[in-house]
Amino acid sequence: MSFRSRQCAKIPNDPFGNNRQLIDSAQSAINAPIPTFVNRVSQDNRRVYREEVPIEPPSPVKRQNAARQALLDSRAQLHTSEQTLTFEHYRLDLGDSLDDKDGPDASDIGPKPIKPSDKSLSEWRLKVDSFASEYVCLHGRGGANIDWCPGCGSADPKIRCRDCFGGALYCEACCVSRHAENPLHRVYRWNDSGFFTKILLASLGLRVQLGHQVGDACEAPERGHKDFVVLHTNGIHDVHVYFCGAGCRRALLAGSPEVQLLRARWFPATHNKPRTCATIDLLDQFREETLQAKTTMYDAYRVLERLTNNVRVKPSDRYHEWLRMCREHSFLELLMQSGRLVAYDHSGAAGTKPGACAVECPACPRPGVNILDDWENAPPEEQYKFILALAFDVCFRLKRRLISSELKDPGLATGFAYMVEDEPYREYLRTVTNQKEINTCSGLAALDYANTKFSRGYSSTGVGMCVCARHEFVQPNGVGDLQRGERFANMDYVFGSVMRHKHPRQPKLFSYDIVCIWYKFLKGRMKNMPALVRLDLVMKLLRFVIPKLHIHGHKSLCRLQCSLNLTRGVSQLDGEGIERPWASIGGLASSTREMGPGSRHDVLDAQWGSWNWQKLIAIVATLRRRMDKAKEEYARQKEALDAFSAERAEYVPVWKARVDAFEQRQLDLGADSVAEDADNPYAVKVIGKSEAEVRLKLSQDDAADVVRGVPSLHDVSPSKFISCGLDLEGEQ
């Protein structure tokens, strides 16, 4: 008896009378042949005959899987009560070839309980009414004392501060005195209509005296601008500000107006008669939001407007001042974090060298920093420890429209951190406007369209960048704008800009998705570069490889010459780490596209700095995790290698000799070594027809069919169709 029959026999007195009928119906539907049709053309090519060809139903294994899936789907229903619903007693077994040993008895498996993903949220829904009642009370006077002021005891208090704890009601005088140290709180007055209306602390008489401690009077206060505005995390505020005037005895200690504002943690929008400020707290908060969530300055300012008034009544417009303060604050943070302020270095910002503000990788080998002084004398088997691995790539999302200019919008920190110096780079690009790249690899399309890439209306079509391949730190002066496609001229300059910060005798490995054609004449091109980035490359110390994922799009010779798997001393480096910074920065593409050149460079420098900082603080955990994984994989691979070597012991000496010779040639010649098929032990000898020979054979077959009078069913022969497909694949 089949599994289906036994299951039906278990319920002979089915009260519904539907179980067997449903099973038989489903079974017959599964076993029914599948009708298909074939068109046949008559010999005179005038008529088409359609013949029905039934196809057998799925195999028993497929029917068994269908039944199992149907059973699982029936268990996945969410129960609305403790009692099982009636329809869940139906048993729809769609298989007839299962034995008891083939699977568990479905009747022994109860419905899978489904629990809410957030238990607390489900329980909260039961109390939503009580929460809503209290929430409404927050917008009214709630439980506050409405008879007397808790500060002075006067009657009829009506002022509440939304930012103070407790929500008590105070009189005007107490509210002003309580906010002498919190002049940017939001206060509301309870009116006779039965609701709160927003008012200004300045309208209640609050005055902010700068240059003195809170509560100290100034002998000669000077009134600030009558429309003085302060931007804070809770909105935009009109404030009455008084500076410490020249007639006061503390005038010299208090400093100039902008100094008095900064000491109060208010960042002035200008140093000459400021009338707009942003609190340091707001600027710090925005910096973290834009670095993590990629919040734009426009969106952040619109949030401040809505916090101030969310019924389309705009406060004082300080948007342009906000943009300026954000850029200045970000620049100061960059200088401070890199120790370039006068407090740390007497040369200050003017003495900052190119790349000095970049956060460098602490794990990559750097002579004179984190490796032994005699590293050049290390034995050959330990030289791999000192290889510096760098990865290059471009991103076409980071475009910039043809708006503004370097004269109108100069960068504050361009060249100090990650972007290349602006003026030398532009001078160099003027000399290479007609450079032509030749693609010698059939698997690449980047260079085919390098000089035809859409660039109309754009000043920059993207950026080229260099990171350390192992830890993904953006390199100092390792980011440059592209003007049209992925040209060698741009990447050569970025390459030279990065290399001037590296030790000239340190062995290096370069990963780039088009390195197979880029490196061929690199040595000659670098000799003709501007003096700032000119290099005389020692090719023996260099190796050029293709990332492990991108290499599958290259031809076989590239996979032999530029494979990371065949390069000694690179461990399990994949070279694809440079793709991860692109994913992080992509959220800013829409905003940087509309910026001027200086603003864009400052924003990108801040983003790369944050990226490197996050990598830095996580480097210990990253290296520990990689070490644990490496030990595990080493034991597994060693076991497999030992077993394979034991089974092929007679071939091992020959294989090992060929591999040792191949790797020694790499060490002796570096990038000048040519791994031809005859010299590479990993080369696979393929004996077969070439694509041209296959095309010729297909054409000959078509010609033979025509001679024999074989009619063609279509206008395009099968061989011609295949040839067109191969051509289309090559164009893609």
Question: What is the C-alpha separation between 395 and 505, in angstroms, rounded?
Answer: 30
Question: What is the C-alpha separation between 518 and 491, in angstroms, rounded?
Answer: 9
Q: Span 55-77, mean pLDDT?
A: 62
Please give the single-letter amino acid code of residue 155: A
Bridge partner residues of 391 (DSSP): 467, 511
337 vs 12, more confident: 337
Question: What is the C-alpha separation between 257 and 275, in angstroms, rounded?
Answer: 10
Task: State the DSSP code for 3.
Answer: H
- Residue 697: the pLDDT is 82
Can you read off the two tokens belonging to residue 481? 């704008």
Question: What is the C-alpha separation between 217 and 201, in angstroms, rounded?
Answer: 19
423 near 480, Cβ under 8 Å? Answer: no
- Residue 693: the pLDDT is 79
Quickly state the pLDDT bin for 153 (edges 50, 70, 90): confident
- Residue 86: the pLDDT is 42
Question: What is the C-alpha separation between 513 and 493, in angstroms, rounded?
Answer: 17
Of the ranges 41-55, 229-243, 263-277, 474-488, which one carries the lowest mean pLDDT score? 41-55
Length of the chain counted residue by residue: 732
Of the ranges 9-23, 436-450, 649-663, 708-722, which one carries the lowest mean pLDDT score? 9-23
- Residue 139: the pLDDT is 87
Q: In the chain, helix, strand, coil percent, each to 5?
A: 40, 15, 45
Quickly state the pLDDT bin for 679 (edges 50, 70, 90): confident
672 vs 205, more confident: 205
Question: What is the C-alpha separation between 677 and 675, in angstroms, rounded?
Answer: 7
Can you read off the two tokens belonging to residue 247? 């007639």
Of the ranges 14-23, 281-290, 584-593, which one carries the lowest mean pLDDT score? 14-23
- Residue 446: the pLDDT is 53
For residue 658, what are the contacts with CB-CB under 8 A and spacing of at least 6?
A: 681
- Residue 404: the pLDDT is 92
Residue 675 has pLDDT above 50, yes or no: no
- Residue 104: the pLDDT is 53
% residues pLDDT > 90 (the chain): 58
SS3 label, residue 389: strand
The helix (H) or strand (E) run that includes residue 307 is helix 297-308
- What's the chain's average pLDDT? 85
- Residue 178: the pLDDT is 93
Please report how many Cα atoms fall inside a 13 Å half-sphere around the Cα of residue 152, on the Cβ side.
13
321 vs 337, more confident: 321
Quickly state the pLDDT bin for 360 (edges 50, 70, 90): very high
Question: What is the C-alpha separation between 728 and 732, in angstroms, rounded?
Answer: 6
SS3 label, residue 34: strand
Of the ranges 151-160, 234-243, 638-647, which one carries the lowest mean pLDDT score? 151-160
Q: Which residues of 220-241 are buried (b: 16+ CB within 10 A; e: fewer)?
A: ebbebeeebbbbbbbbbbbbbb
> pLDDT digit string (tens) for 103-121?
555 555 667 788 888 889 9
Q: Span 698-724, mean pLDDT?
A: 78
Residue 667 has pLDDT above 50, yes or no: yes
Question: What is the C-alpha separation between 445 and 522, in angstroms, rounded?
Answer: 20
> pLDDT digit string (tens) for 435-446?
777 677 755 655
Residue 311 has pLDDT above 90, yes or no: no
- Residue 394: the pLDDT is 95
Closest CA to 229 of 185, 188, 268: 268
565 near 529, Cβ under 8 Å? Answer: no
Quickly state the pLDDT bin for 64 (edges 50, 70, 90): low
- Residue 69: the pLDDT is 62
Of the ranges 72-81, 639-648, 716-725, which one carries the lowest mean pLDDT score? 72-81
Task: State the DSSP code for 685.
Answer: P
What is the Cα 69 distance to its own chain's centre? 38
Question: What is the C-alpha separation between 594 and 609, in angstroms, rounded?
Answer: 22
- Residue 346: the pLDDT is 77
Alpha helix locations (H) across 398-487? 422-429
Q: Say which residue the tokens 């002084």 belong to.
A: 373
Of the ranges 41-50, 319-328, 409-418, which one carries the lowest mean pLDDT score? 41-50
> pLDDT digit string (tens) for 565-601?
999 889 899 999 999 999 999 999 999 999 999 999 9
Residue 83 has pLDDT above 50, yes or no: no
Closest CA to 30 of 91, 92, 95: 95
Question: What is the C-alpha separation between 122 and 125, in angstroms, rounded?
Answer: 5
Quickly state the pLDDT bin for 3 (edges 50, 70, 90): very low
Quickly state the pLDDT bin for 472 (edges 50, 70, 90): very high
pTM of the predicted structure, to 2 decimals: 0.78
Residue 551 has pLDDT above 50, yes or no: yes
- Residue 423: the pLDDT is 94
Q: Span 481-488, mean pLDDT?
A: 90
Q: Span 465-483, mean pLDDT?
A: 97
23 near 8, Cβ under 8 Å? Answer: yes
- Residue 343: the pLDDT is 61
% residues pLDDT > 70 (the chain): 84
